[in-house]
Amino acid sequence: MSKIIKIAVVGYGYWGPNLVRNFSENEDVRIVSVCDLDKTKLALVKRKYPKINITTNYDSLIKDRSIDAVVIATPTSTHFPLAKKALIANKHIWVEKPFTNTESQARELVELAQKKKKIIFVDHIFLYTEAIQAIKRLILKKKLGRIYYFDSTRINLGLFQPDTNVVWDLAPHDISIMLYLMGEAPLSVAAFAHSHAIKKLEDTAYLSFKFRGKKSAHIRLSWLSPVKIRQTLIAGTKKMIVYDDLESTEKIKVYDYGISINKTSKELSTSGYQYRTGDIIIPSIIHKEALVNACRAFVDSIKTNKAPISDGMNGYLVVKIIEAAQKSLQSGGRPVGIM
Amino acid sequence: MSKIIKIAVVGYGYWGPNLVRNFSENEDVRIVSVCDLDKTKLALVKRKYPKINITTNYDSLIKDRSIDAVVIATPTSTHFPLAKKALIANKHIWVEKPFTNTESQARELVELAQKKKKIIFVDHIFLYTEAIQAIKRLILKKKLGRIYYFDSTRINLGLFQPDTNVVWDLAPHDISIMLYLMGEAPLSVAAFAHSHAIKKLEDTAYLSFKFRGKKSAHIRLSWLSPVKIRQTLIAGTKKMIVYDDLESTEKIKVYDYGISINKTSKELSTSGYQYRTGDIIIPSIIHKEALVNACRAFVDSIKTNKAPISDGMNGYLVVKIIEAAQKSLQSGGRPVGIM
Amino acid sequence: MSKIIKIAVVGYGYWGPNLVRNFSENEDVRIVSVCDLDKTKLALVKRKYPKINITTNYDSLIKDRSIDAVVIATPTSTHFPLAKKALIANKHIWVEKPFTNTESQARELVELAQKKKKIIFVDHIFLYTEAIQAIKRLILKKKLGRIYYFDSTRINLGLFQPDTNVVWDLAPHDISIMLYLMGEAPLSVAAFAHSHAIKKLEDTAYLSFKFRGKKSAHIRLSWLSPVKIRQTLIAGTKKMIVYDDLESTEKIKVYDYGISINKTSKELSTSGYQYRTGDIIIPSIIHKEALVNACRAFVDSIKTNKAPISDGMNGYLVVKIIEAAQKSLQSGGRPVGIM
Amino acid sequence: MSKIIKIAVVGYGYWGPNLVRNFSENEDVRIVSVCDLDKTKLALVKRKYPKINITTNYDSLIKDRSIDAVVIATPTSTHFPLAKKALIANKHIWVEKPFTNTESQARELVELAQKKKKIIFVDHIFLYTEAIQAIKRLILKKKLGRIYYFDSTRINLGLFQPDTNVVWDLAPHDISIMLYLMGEAPLSVAAFAHSHAIKKLEDTAYLSFKFRGKKSAHIRLSWLSPVKIRQTLIAGTKKMIVYDDLESTEKIKVYDYGISINKTSKELSTSGYQYRTGDIIIPSIIHKEALVNACRAFVDSIKTNKAPISDGMNGYLVVKIIEAAQKSLQSGGRPVGIM
């Protein structure tokens, strides 16, 4: 199928301009319309992209039967109603993260899309980075051995937002990466979050996950850190990985490190353990904007009718886990079951 | 009082040689004896320090009334009986961390020392670094404003130990620093620990603390990380600090960073917050071995009869908190009250 | 004067698109035309900026009397003829670095501009970064004391160019920064350059400068380095600066470091010197695209009729120094006088 | 030969204590005597090593026929007379760097040692680091291909010395490494050095070397830098290496990077070159004190009667090159031939 996908973009705020720019550079796509309630923003669209229609009327927009897909980049609380209408109108949908405000909304959309045979693409953008793809390949090739843990830190100063907290804002990134790399969902989560600076606005959070077997995960999030860190450790029986998203050329380091019990040692002492500290390899990663890959993946999903890696089920799972985390942090950190 | 303090060192394993070397270079101290059960180790002492007596008999050692103080650097499980005997024999004591195996042992020693009017010095060595002293001074001068949080990471590969876990091994460092810098004890702790590599031997742990007001603390520990990180963030209303113990000249960075609600903004939007990202100052820190300072502090405590900053109560509190953390992690992460 | 400056941009290759984007966002400017010999490139302009005229005919372009200024972003060898025609046609000119191929061309343009009372702006872009501006302010406020040296490293892998060498390609950056910060021209230069990878194409170069007094400068350049480094050290009697252009938030570090002769020491031994290693300050730098500042400076120069900091004389001096360096490297490294 | 080598150490100043400590821990060595003119220093020796004789009389010391080797760690100007006497007295010698003050002195010692059939070991300590050994192995295995260049930076604040300059103090390290890794001597050197802080005491220097073929080398030295850098780049046709001596676990990075002319490209443009940016490998390096290896190498040389890698000829060459550099810098940077 070589047909051009016709799309409409809804929401031209923080992320919308990136979506319009990227989709407009994708040869298989034509952006028919951009919709926003703010006419000043629509004027910006018109200035930069004179051929794209602009509108404030979403309901009439989705009546346009020539539109194949709707890209939703509006505030989270509006994702559900806008996505639902789009699916009902037989559109494929792209939804920014987090997918919805609640698990039940997410489930409803997933079921509706199944019924309508439409693609849901949740923009868990990090899954489309060359770095995460390279790590996933290493895991699939069993290079890491059995996974021990996933441990991620995503902290910086800002951007506080009044209508959400640091968990809903930042955790979708790490949870979607965690689900993708671990290849399974956690059993439970315990969450601690603190409103240090602004009343009732959690700016720092720690999520602890249990998985089947002895696997674990931990996510550390902050809007209130003097330093920006985006570092993830993933360790397995054979290899360990440090993924530093802020590095330009050395994003991934693969350590041939490990530990084993020293069978030859008679007594169980400190010397009863052997450490392997072999070479470290920094694989060459092609520098490419993740959004280019994500747009490509959305188009491919529509064309081939195959679910993307960040499909509705994936978006649903992320929301479900964040809801459980929210429940845990409101109970003071009690572990909450997920599966 | 200019009298020479006569001391005996018990235990010449991993840390003992450092203690003997440092105390032997302190002009106010004379090491009379070194005691160890292992005669090979005693032979090493004799070779390096021909004037120091060596013995395997602790009981007769502490009968020597000329000895003022006993320095205990043996496995943790022996701290309590050795320390108790020393106090009963009217010796001041220096005990390696962790102080004891249980809170009740620690309390008994504290009470005994009070009765005997003897000094207890627990070797929470980081409190005697120039870096922690510099941070403490900044806090006391109110440079940070009201403290928001303490967030510490201490991870590396190794050293697994068969008779303890990563919490008992590494947390005494961070908990003693946390108590010292926060200036108060936490209300509760929730702990997650995982035995990834060796059965029933926790190699990774996360401790979440609640304090009075909105303050919080978090400690991340690992024996199973490919990278060595020793980084602590301490943020307050006025300034934020990053303390990196692995840096040679830039151990402490003081950030004039902060956030405030923008009163002039009418709507509560993202732009409703103002971020202050002023200068960063790296204070000049004198490079000095912490153990030199610690030995000096022990001697001064004995001479002036004033409690050191890492006194018995401090050692007791650290053990009490670790016991609570241990209880939490055994219950699957349930928060456990401390005070 | 609030009149809109009308400009034409010549050359839409590597840097041209950045110039068109930045000037098109400057409210005091209107881009009337873009000129390039390659019609494919002109088509790109038309697609993105439908209101801008496109042309392949430079001679007729500059006949347009409504155009105030011409921005020249073509290959270096064409700078001189294009700039000369523009000045003759009474246009202000912006010329990419290096200004011209030869000192005599540069001098001719400077003299022509003086006669025509037109502004020459050479795009020594680093002078318009917030970082260099901050360093210049520190120097002007005498914070560094008397300057000792300027030492700059600019190395990475690529971009080899067939018609120039690493000196002509990279040195204009460091030489323009050096002239600006030192506040004076060097007396002589010795240059070593090597064609390691491609025949007769110097990929690595070292320039050593002498200045009046005891001041010195050194510039290290490479197209053939595995690592990218852009680091400049500037030391004075009172303070020393490290400027790292690749750092995002810590571009400038100001060290309160120094050395002095210990007057109290009788013998002239190693201990006869005292080192001052005080605090390090990282001033807060606003993140702003240098090209925005440069475009603003060009417009201001035209409006106020005042020379920009990177005026024709400055561009001339940079070319003169590079010519001297080229002469030195061809003679095997013999120092060549400049002033 | 399993006989114990009996040695005397002359000079117990800055480096002497390290030599005594290391040789005293070598099982094949017995330190018979330590000689120094300063009795306070000798008292320190006696306190720490009661079994070692102390003396201020070098002439009588070397009459002791039981002594096999003399280790000379005195100021450079005394190396030649002390070494000469030791060789005449039929001792093997270990001499600290730089070997001698002049090329002719070095040659005289080399010839004397040949006549006397004695080992000369010059303590070019970096050659005995695991890092340099690992790089040498990579070069010998042709992993780097044909070498392009060697580029070394060794800068920090201090330690100024009254009787020498930064070239004589620091360059022996880099020149000995350069000779060892390049496997050949340079043809010429041009040197620039500057006395910024202290009159007639060069604190900053740049050495540029030419080699046969297109190979080059550059060494950048400073006592007057706010930052400490010890970084060496070595590039070849197949691989490039960054060696950072200040890194603890990542001392060597091997880059599979390179450049080639794109044969398929018709026009010689920027796109006419192809860059290879493959994986980076950080080989695992055993952490071991270089001096342990050096002491071992000295003992092995004596036992096997084979020249060490830092033999007299090597020490001679380093002195010869520094003399040439000194000549160049005194002539204002004129290149001076070496071979």
Question: Which pLDDT tens digit goes with each residue over A66-87?
Answer: 999 999 999 999 999 999 999 9
Q: Do A226 and B333 touch (CB under 8 A)?
A: no
Average pLDDT, chain A: 94
Q: Distance between CA D157 and CA D154 in Å, rounded?
A: 11
Residue in B50, B228, B249 nearest the CB of D50: B50
Question: What average pLDDT does range C168-182 have in this prediction?
Answer: 97
Measure in Å the smallest separation between the Cα of D117 and chain C Cα atoms.
37
In degrees and rounded to multiples of 5, residue D333 shows phi and psi of: 110, 5
- Per-residue pLDDT band for B264 (boundaries 50, 70, 90) equals low
Residues of A in contact with B13 (CB under 8 A): none
pLDDT at position B262 over 90? no
Question: What average pLDDT does range B305-327 have in this prediction?
Answer: 97
Neighbours of chain C (3+ CB pairs under 8 A): A, B, D
Tens digits of residue pLDDT in D124-182: 999 999 999 999 999 999 999 999 999 999 999 987 777 789 999 999 999 999 999 99
- Per-residue pLDDT band for C1 (boundaries 50, 70, 90) equals very low
Share of chain C above pLDDT 70, in %: 96
Neighbours of chain D (3+ CB pairs under 8 A): A, B, C
Q: Distance between CA C62 and CA A59 in Å, rounded?
A: 52
Nearest Cα to Cα of residue C236 among A209, D224, D138: D224
Share of chain A above pLDDT 90, in %: 86
C92 vs A163, which has greater pLDDT? C92
Tens digits of residue pLDDT in A33-67: 999 999 999 999 998 898 999 999 999 999 999 99
Tens digits of residue pLDDT in A186-209: 999 999 999 999 988 999 999 999
Q: Give the pLDDT confidence score for residue C158 in this predicted structure.
A: 81
In degrees and rounded to multiples of 5, residue D286 shows phi and psi of: -70, 135
Residue C288 at interface with chain B, using a CB cutoff of 8 Å: no
- Considering the domain architecture, whether residues C174 and C296 belong to the same structural domain is answered as no
Measure in Å the smallest separation between the Cα of C9 and chain D Cα atoms.
22
Please give the helix or strand (H or E) that residue C328 lies within, else none.
helix C312-330
Share of chain B above pLDDT 90, in %: 86
* Beta strand A92-96 pairing with A69-72: parallel
Measure in Å the smallest separation between the Cα of D239 and chain C Cα atoms.
9
Measure in Å the smallest separation between the Cα of D145 and chain C Cα atoms.
12
Q: Distance between CA B190 and CA D335 in Å, rounded?
A: 69
Q: Give the pLDDT confidence score for residue D2 in this predicted structure.
A: 58
Q: Residue C155: closest CA among chain D residues belongs to which residue?
A: D233
Question: What average pLDDT does range C110-132 have in this prediction?
Answer: 98
Do the domain assignments include residue C24? yes
CB C85 within 8 A of CB C58: yes
- Per-residue pLDDT band for B339 (boundaries 50, 70, 90) equals confident
- Kindly report which listed range (A151-160, C317-326, D206-215) carries the lowest average pLDDT score: A151-160
Q: Residue C255: closest CA among chain B residues belongs to which residue?
A: B282
pLDDT at position B39 over 60? yes
- Considering the domain architecture, whether residues A120 and A173 belong to the same structural domain is answered as no
Residues 229-258 of B with CB under 8 A from D: 249
Q: Give the pLDDT confidence score for residue D267 in this predicted structure.
A: 47
How many Cβ pairs closer than 8 A exist between chain C and D? 143
Do the domain assignments include residue B29? yes
Q: Do D233 and C253 touch (CB under 8 A)?
A: no
Do the domain assignments include residue B55? yes
Do the domain assignments include residue D31? yes
Question: What average pLDDT does range A116-134 have in this prediction?
Answer: 97
Residue B50 at interface with chain D, using a CB cutoff of 8 Å: yes
Measure in Å the smallest separation between the Cα of A156 and chain C Cα atoms.
12
Measure in Å the smallest separation between the Cα of D136 and chain C Cα atoms.
18
Q: Give the pLDDT confidence score for residue A1 in this predicted structure.
A: 46
Residue in C192, C214, C240 nearest the CB of D195: C214
Residue A226 at interface with chain C, using a CB cutoff of 8 Å: no
In degrees and rounded to multiples of 5, residue D139 shows phi and psi of: -70, -45
Do the domain assignments include residue D19? yes
Read off the CATH number of the domain in which C206 is found. Answer: 3.30.360.10
- What is the identity of the amino acid at A147? I
Q: Give the pLDDT confidence score for residue B271 in this predicted structure.
A: 61
Share of chain B above pLDDT 70, in %: 96
- Per-residue pLDDT band for A263 (boundaries 50, 70, 90) equals low
- Considering the domain architecture, whether residues A114 and A132 belong to the same structural domain is answered as no
Residues of C in contact with B278 (CB under 8 A): 284
Q: Residue D283: closest CA among chain A residues belongs to which residue?
A: A279
Q: Any idea which residue has 């873009």 for tokens? A: C34
- Per-residue pLDDT band for D339 (boundaries 50, 70, 90) equals confident
- Considering the domain architecture, whether residues C157 and C278 belong to the same structural domain is answered as yes
- Give the contacts of D46 (CB within 8 A, at least 6 positions apart): D52, D54
Nearest Cα to Cα of residue C123 among C9, C218, C250, C272: C9
- Considering the domain architecture, whether residues A259 and A144 belong to the same structural domain is answered as yes
Tens digits of residue pLDDT in A292-308: 999 999 999 999 999 99
**A44, A156, A249: best mutation site toward chain C, by most C Cβ within 10 Å?**
A249
Q: Give the pLDDT confidence score for residue B268 in this predicted structure.
A: 46
Q: Residue A276: closest CA among chain D residues belongs to which residue?
A: D284
Question: What average pLDDT does range C259-280 have in this prediction?
Answer: 72
pLDDT at position B215 over 90? yes
Residues 76-135 of A with CB under 8 A from D: none
Q: Distance between CA C257 and CA B249 in Å, rounded?
A: 12
Write the ipTM.
0.93
Do the domain assignments include residue C224? yes
Residues of D in contact with B47 (CB under 8 A): none
Question: Between the CA of residue B207 and those of A324, B109, B188, B193, B333, what are the distances in Å?
Answer: 20, 27, 10, 9, 9
Residue in A256, A277, A284 nearest the CB of D279: A284
Measure in Å the smallest separation between the Cα of A4 and chain C Cα atoms.
19
- Considering the domain architecture, whether residues A49 and A89 belong to the same structural domain is answered as yes
pLDDT at position D328 over 90? yes
Per-residue 3-state assignment (H helix, E strand, C coil) for B204-265: EEEEEEECCCCCEEEEEEECEEEEEEEEEEEEECCCEEEEECCCCCCCEEEEEEEEEECCCC
pLDDT at position D1 over 60? no
Tens digits of residue pLDDT in B161-180: 777 899 999 999 999 999 99
Residues of B in contact with A335 (CB under 8 A): 332-334
pLDDT at position C22 over 60? yes
- Considering the domain architecture, whether residues A169 and A101 belong to the same structural domain is answered as no
- Per-residue pLDDT band for B47 (boundaries 50, 70, 90) equals confident
Q: Do D190 and C195 touch (CB under 8 A)?
A: no
Average pLDDT, chain C: 94
- Considering the domain architecture, whether residues A10 and A72 belong to the same structural domain is answered as yes
Residue in A278, A280, A284 nearest the CB of D250: A280
Do the domain assignments include residue A316? no
Please give the helix or strand (H or E) that residue B69 lies within, else none.
strand B69-72
Tens digits of residue pLDDT in D39-88: 999 999 998 898 999 999 999 999 999 999 999 999 999 999 999 999 99
- Considering the domain architecture, whether residues C34 and C72 belong to the same structural domain is answered as yes
Nearest Cα to Cα of residue C235 among C312, C333, C147, C329: C147
Residue C196 at interface with chain D, using a CB cutoff of 8 Å: yes
Q: Give the pLDDT confidence score for residue C32 in this predicted structure.
A: 96
Residue in B198, B220, B226 nearest the CB of A261: B198
Measure in Å the smallest separation between the Cα of A251 and chain C Cα atoms.
14
Rg (CA), chain A: 22
Q: Do B277 and C284 touch (CB under 8 A)?
A: yes
Do the domain assignments include residue A62? yes
- What is the identity of the amino acid at C252? I
How many Cβ pairs closer than 8 A exist between chain A and C? 3
- Helices then strands, each counted (H, E), chain A: 9, 15
D266 vs B94, which has greater pLDDT? B94
Q: Do B279 and C278 touch (CB under 8 A)?
A: no
Q: Do A279 and D280 touch (CB under 8 A)?
A: no
Residue in A50, A228, A249 nearest the CB of C50: A50
Q: Distance between CA A296 and CA A313 in Å, rounded?
A: 20
Residue in D249, D277, D279 nearest the CB of A281: D279
Q: Do B162 and A255 touch (CB under 8 A)?
A: no
Residue A50 at interface with chain C, using a CB cutoff of 8 Å: yes
Q: Which domain holds residue B305?
A: 5-126+290-312
Residues of C in contact with D216 (CB under 8 A): 192, 194, 196, 204
Residues of C in contact with D268 (CB under 8 A): 162
pLDDT at position C2 over 80? no
Q: Residue D282: closest CA among chain A residues belongs to which residue?
A: A280
B315 vs C159, which has greater pLDDT? B315
Measure in Å the smallest separation between the Cα of D318 and chain A Cα atoms.
34
Q: Do B216 and A208 touch (CB under 8 A)?
A: no
Residue in D161, D275, D335 nearest the CB of C158: D275
- Considering the domain architecture, whether residues A155 and A33 belong to the same structural domain is answered as no
Taking the whole predicted model, whether its pTM rises above 0.90 is answered as yes
Residues of B in contact with C283 (CB under 8 A): 279
Read off the CATH number of the domain in which C304 is found. Answer: 3.40.50.720
Question: What average pLDDT does range B117-140 have in this prediction?
Answer: 98
pLDDT at position D216 over 60? yes
Nearest Cα to Cα of residue D173 among D228, D105, D127, D120: D127
Q: Give the pLDDT confidence score for residue A260 in this predicted structure.
A: 80
- Considering the domain architecture, whether residues A31 and A94 belong to the same structural domain is answered as yes
Residues of A in contact with B214 (CB under 8 A): 194-196
Strand order in the sheet with C53-55: C53-55, C29-35, C5-10, C69-72, C92-96, C120-123
Q: Distance between CA B17 and CA B22 in Å, rounded?
A: 9
Measure in Å the smallest separation between the Cα of D179 and chain C Cα atoms.
19
Q: Distance between CA A73 and CA C125 in Å, rounded?
A: 36
- Considering the domain architecture, whether residues C116 and C163 belong to the same structural domain is answered as no
Q: How many domains does chain D have?
A: 1
Question: What average pLDDT does range B47-52 have in this prediction?
Answer: 88
- Per-residue pLDDT band for D268 (boundaries 50, 70, 90) equals very low
